[in-house]
Amino acid sequence: MDKKSPHRIVQKYGGTSVGSPDRIRAVAERVKRYHSEGKELAVVVSAMAGETNRLLALSQQITPQPHRRELDAVLATGEQVSAALLTMALHHIGVPAVSLLGHQIRIATDSSFGRARIRSIDVSRVESAFSSGSVVVVAGFQGVDEEQNITTLGRGGSDTSAVALAAALKADVCEILTDVNGVYTTDPRVCPSATKLDRICHEEMLELASLGAKVLQLRSVEFASRYRVNLHVRSSFDDSEGTWVVPEEENMEEVLVSGVSCERDEAKVTVQGIPDSPGLAASVFVPLAEAGIVVDMIVQNVSEAGRTDLTFTVPAKDLAEVEPIIKTVVDKVGAKNFISTPHVGKVSVVGLGMRSHAGVASRMFDVLAGEGINIQMISTSEIKISVVIEVDLVDRAVNVLHDAFIGDDREAKAASPA
């Protein structure tokens, strides 16, 4: 066999890809092709499209707040069905295969029902199936805790099952087969000149969360990054090359900006006139953390006459819960008041090249200024610059930034040698 072609592969098929008997048969044909090339193949499947939502709604018809353990027991059935159906389809076309559920290969997780984290996988049963020339079909999204309870990994969790399995099996590649043909430089619905990325590193993918989240569960990228798993996001409908998400490689910094991402579901809160003394930030953020609210950006102003303002963003859906907490804080610490904006937009440019090239931030601000777009907040990391702007201006900002940094011709926008 060609030395370069991967020998051991984990493939993950999403809900649309196994959404009907015809689709399942098509997946089986694809799997057969790999198998007949002599590859060792573990296939992770999601529930058929819409099934997890159906099971969720069904449970809620019984009780609005089902016990989480039982809810996981119900939700896990979706993947059990598609794993067994795909296995039958493989048998039907003469491919030896066996379906395995989370507990049958001990995908050991903690006990956080609905968002369990994988601790380990026992691959011995998979290895012996490989030795006998069999394809293994694994039910995604599910695991088992120490007490043998069935757990699930959170929405989109089959991606994480696949990456974890690829890490445990030391697979050459983890292919994520989906209904789009890769990860794009930005959302093509917002910006028509968006192009498919050929290659991107894990770190960039994590920062491009809003682009990636549509194709990959974020946790799966964290996992891939930690265990250096090569991901290939590609279409399950054809054989075209998709996007490789890989550990950082040498010449990756040549591209200044890899992608422009945006979010529209954040809210902004400003606490005004807080006495500026030690413990100020803690007084605001400890109660929020205790309520399980994830704060994104934070900006604190320079203090004036012993008082300062603090602005932060939270998921818009959490604002109703945040407001009374902040009201209490304002009263307790003797701040002046607080104001909130229920919807703000966030636009980010991401690229490894920023590490070695100055001027991305200034250019970004300049481009936005040229469009008359006011920046409300700024935050930066080594490879990302994010700004908060008015939500209605997000589309325009994405387009002008994509044009400025990426454009139609990616070559032309590569960073010039420093």
Q: Residues 327-356 vs ligand ASP: string with x where CB under 6 A?
A: ------------------------------
For position 156 contacting Mg ion by CB under 5 A, the verdict is: yes
**Nearest Cα to Cα of residue 136 among 96, 176, 190, 184:** 96
The token pair at 21 is 């008997």
Binding at 345: pick from ligand ASP, Mg ion, none (beta carbon under 5-8 Å per type) = none
- Phi/psi zone of residue 61: left (φ > 0), alpha (ψ -120 to 50 degrees), beta? alpha
Number of residues that bind Mg ion (CB under 5 A): 2
Gap between the Cα atoms of 386 and 383, Å rounded:
10
Q: Minimum Å distance from CB 361 to Mg ion?
A: 33
- Phi/psi zone of residue 222: left (φ > 0), alpha (ψ -120 to 50 degrees), beta? alpha
Q: Give φ, ψ of 130 to 5 degrees.
A: -60, -45
Q: Minimum Å distance from CB 26 to Mg ion?
A: 18
Binding at 141: pick from ligand ASP, Mg ion, none (beta carbon under 5-8 Å per type) = ligand ASP
Q: Residues 28-67 vs ligand ASP: string with x where CB under 6 A?
A: ------------------xx----x---------------
For position 184 contacting ligand ASP by CB under 6 A, the verdict is: no
Binding at 182: pick from Mg ion, ligand ASP, none (beta carbon under 5-8 Å per type) = none
Q: Give φ, ψ of 197 to 5 degrees.
A: -80, 135
Give Cα separations from 127 to 176, 214, 227, 245 (angstroms): 21, 32, 19, 26
For position 212 contacting ligand ASP by CB under 6 A, the verdict is: no
H/E run at residue 171? none
Which of residues 158, 236, 283, 376 is near ligand ASP by CB under 6 A? 158
CB closer to ligand ASP out of 77 and 272: 77
For position 351 contacting Mg ion by CB under 5 A, the verdict is: no
For position 140 contacting Mg ion by CB under 5 A, the verdict is: no
Binding at 157: pick from Mg ion, ligand ASP, none (beta carbon under 5-8 Å per type) = ligand ASP
CB closer to ligand ASP out of 217 and 243: 217
Give bridge partners of residue 384 from the DSSP assignment: 350, 381
Q: Are 390 and 343 in contact (CB under 8 A)?
A: no
State the Cα torsion 384-390-395-398 to the nearest 10°. -20
The token pair at 197 is 């990325």
- Using DSSP's 3-state secondary structure scheme, residue 166 falls into helix
- Residues in contact with Mg ion by the rule CB under 5 A: 14, 156
Q: What residues line the site for ligand ASP (CB under 6 A)? A: 15, 46-47, 52, 78, 140-141, 155-159
